[in-house]
Structure 1
Amino acid sequence: MSRSLLLLVAVFLMAGCSYSIQGEPVAEPLPPGPAVATPRKTANIDPCTLITDADLKSLGTPKYKPTAQSEKVPNSCLFVMNEDVQVMIAVPYRSFDESKNRQKGSEVQTLKHATWLSCGPEGDNMVCTATIATSRNESLLVAINKKGVTALQATNLLEPVAQTALKRLPAAS
């Protein structure tokens, strides 16, 4: 009888420790990403079409027609002005988080999109880049390189160009 009782106690103990899961497993949600007011389409977009000479009028006059710069920065276009200023647009570009991890800078907003703003001198020039989140994994890069200005002045020149380029990207479907 003691064997039967011991077996019965063992079965009850094991039964008390088991449980079953009801329903389908739920995937853990992704951690919050950068703020993106309107996800934007970045594939098959010509970066040279995101800004025009008229958009750059406040920076000067074009030295020559904008040129694709795929060998230096993939999917980019360089605008060179007579007034010692250059503007580069790249799309799609690396993620906002990747720029944040690679560059010194600060997070700002461009039309409610998280933007990593980084500025620094290169010789007599100030270079500022804005990596604007267009989705969790991609961004729009807008950069300005201008001789003889401060970081704040370069940022003020960059901001309207960045806003215009972002507005011209179509919404993701």
Structure 2
Amino acid sequence: MSCYICLEDLSSPVSLPCGHVFCQDCLKRAVQAIQPYSTLHTCPTCRSQYHLAPLNLSAVPPQLRPYLTPSIRKVYIDLPSAKSETPGPSTSESSSGLAIEVARLRAENDALRHNCFMWRKRAEVHSAATLGLLELSRTAKDQVLHVARQRDMIQNNFLRLNQDFQRQQ
């Protein structure tokens, strides 16, 4: 099985209440990435909600403690054995077919990982350019407002001076 976050083989698998399984470190990074901190999170795959509220077992009656389970649970996965009890031509063909399929999926996984890396880099470049343009537009807007204030101030001074001049004549 592979993790839906890192797309690698599962290491230290954990399960959410919805049943989706992830690497413990991947899920930990996903939870820590939520800012500001919250005890309510969503599954990265199906978006079903789960809580990370720590349980104080001393507040729970002893007879109910066996029925409490944390939202994130350690999972122990038994992978099917590559050996079969009855070796024969069909099992060697199926195991070689399985090996070919696994190799194809790993290659596809590597290609997808490479594409994700490239798109992430493109997004970083695009966001940097966008931030530069946003800063330029803010600066231009501030300059326009400053020039408009100066124009209004000069116009008011001109009108006041013009009125003073007309009164003097």
Q: TM-score, normalised by structure 2?
A: 0.21
Structure with more contact order per residue of length (Cα contacts < 8 Å, sep ≥ 6): 1
Q: TM-score, normalised by structure 1?
A: 0.21
State the structure with more CA Rg.
2
Q: Which one has a larger percent helix, Structure 1 or Structure 2? A: 2
